[in-house]
Amino acid sequence: MKKVEEKDYKFEMTNGSSLGGYIRATYSKLVELLGPPTLPNPSGDEKVQKEWVVEFEGDYFTIYDWKTYNVDMTINELDIWHIGSKVPANRFLDYLNSLNLEEGGYIS
């Protein structure tokens, strides 16, 4: 798994992606694992506050909050994140599950 840096981010990598699952993790745990978000600022419609874009086995996945509309809540309280992709996310979710991102957490 490799995080895509903002300077390398191309909209084409994720354009057309859709929800593929969820992951339980804190913002700080994701930063520990992946570094700062690829897209650290809220989207234009503010539906997404923080988003990581990662490459895994040749496919691109996003890890993002959805409709919190509140960056402080996203950073300090959110513990369920959306996984987006253009392909089935099962292999990526299995990989994330193996990382034990949060004690007692789950990925579905």
- Tell me: the pLDDT tens digits for 40-90? 999 999 999 999 999 999 999 999 999 999 999 999 999 999 999 999 999
What total number of domains does the chain contain? 1
Beta strand residue intervals within 1-108, DSSP E:
2-3, 18-24, 51-56, 59-64, 80-85
Query: What is the rounded average pLDDT of the residues 99-105?
Result: 67
Q: Hey, how many other C-beta atoms are within 10 angstroms of the C-beta on 102?
A: 14
Is the per-residue pLDDT at 8 higher than 90? no
Domain containing residue 59: 2-98
Looking at the domain assignment, is residue 37 inside a domain? yes
Looking at the domain assignment, is residue 108 inside a domain? no
Looking at the domain assignment, is residue 106 inside a domain? no
Looking at the domain assignment, is residue 6 inside a domain? yes
Looking at the domain assignment, is residue 9 inside a domain? yes
Looking at the domain assignment, is residue 105 inside a domain? no
**The whole model's pTM is what?**
0.91
What does the alpha-carbon distance between residue 78 and residue 13 come to, in Å, rounded to a whole number?
A: 25
What does the alpha-carbon distance between residue 78 and residue 19 come to, in Å, rounded to a whole number?
A: 17
